[in-house]
């Protein structure tokens, strides 16, 4: 049965976001709660998640934050590792349906009520002000937790020994390049998995060229979406297209380098 998650009402979202600015970094966990007082659930479609389950999810993600070294500031490499672990745990343990995950107010609740400390440690204030998109769910591609859930949902591959192994393949910048092409590329999870898997397995590029091949091949795949229905292709067909596109991209890059 689908689990329904609490949705933080707009007025409560603003209040909770403003409260973030009133606490020093090491005291933010005082704001964390499993309270449902200012939240609502959709009327139908599943079973409401319990406060006990919310508490378990908080404990799990807080553990990841503390293991990473938070609330201390972390390096880019440490933050990348943290994001990968949280993406895996969040997707695996929340058992959230895509319909629930598409609701901004669900993510507002998770970031501002259940895990305000973890989210604020991950994306601290800029010049004393937190970035609203990281907490409110106004842009799910930038939300602290929603973006990680989406990555795990898209990249999860049950055919791998570790279903979440593809999360570890690309760095933050390269993964953003893939996910930013949401309509044409990221809108077809099987294509995203093919792109990432081929990047991992088609290892004939030097490290200097790997990113260029990835980014240029993504541009080609985007242009091809005008006349190819990626959703209608099998995993094998998608892999073949990606490999062919990468090969053609290499030729273009090599030719340009010789000129």
Q: How far apart are CA 227 and CA 86, in angstroms?
A: 37
Both tokens of residue 201? 């397995």
Helix and strand counts by DSSP (H, E) for the chain: 12, 4
State pTM to two decimals: 0.92
Q: List Cβ neighbours of 129 (8 Å cut-off, separation of 6 or more).
A: 21
> What tens digit of pLDDT does each residue of 22-73 get?
999 889 999 999 999 989 999 888 999 999 999 999 999 999 999 999 999 9
Stretch 89-104: mean pLDDT? 96
> What tens digit of pLDDT does each residue of 111-167 get?
999 999 999 999 999 888 999 999 999 999 999 999 999 999 999 999 899 999 999
- Residue whose structure tokens are 């609203």: 132
Question: Given a cut of 70, is residue 182 above it in pLDDT?
Answer: no
Both tokens of residue 175? 């993964």
């Amino acid at each position: 049965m689908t689990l329904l998650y609490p949705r933080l009402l707009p007025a409560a979202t603003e209040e909770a976001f403003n409260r973030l600015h009133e606490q020093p970094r090491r005291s933010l966990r005082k704001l964390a709660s499993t309270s449902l007082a200012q939240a609502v659930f959709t009327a139908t479609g599943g079973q409401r998640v319990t406060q006990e389950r919310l508490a378990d999810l908080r404990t799990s993600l807080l553990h990841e934050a503390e293991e990473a070294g938070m609330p201390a500031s972390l390096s880019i490499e440490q933050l990348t590792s943290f994001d990968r672990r949280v993406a895996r745990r969040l997707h695996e343990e929340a058992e959230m349906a895509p319909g629930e995950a598409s609701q901004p107010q669900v993510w507002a609740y998770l970031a501002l009520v259940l895990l305000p400390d973890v989210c604020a440690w991950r994306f601290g204030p800029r010049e004393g002000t937190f970035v609203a998109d990281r907490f409110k769910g106004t842009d799910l591609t930038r939300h602290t937790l929603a973006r990680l859930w989406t990555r795990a949902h898209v990249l999860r591959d049950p055919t791998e020994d570790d279903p979440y192994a593809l999360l570890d393949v690309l760095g933050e910048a390269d993964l953003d390049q893939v996910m930013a092409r949401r309509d044409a590329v990221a809108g077809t999870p099987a294509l995203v998995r093919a792109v990432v898997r081929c990047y991992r397995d088609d290892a004939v590029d030097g490290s200097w060229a790997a990113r260029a091949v990835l980014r240029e091949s993504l541009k080609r795949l985007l242009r091809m979406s005008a006349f190819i229905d990626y959703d209608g292709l099998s995993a094998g067909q998608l892999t073949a297209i990606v490999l062919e596109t990468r090969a053609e991209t290499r030729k273009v890059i090599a030719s340009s380098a010789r000129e």
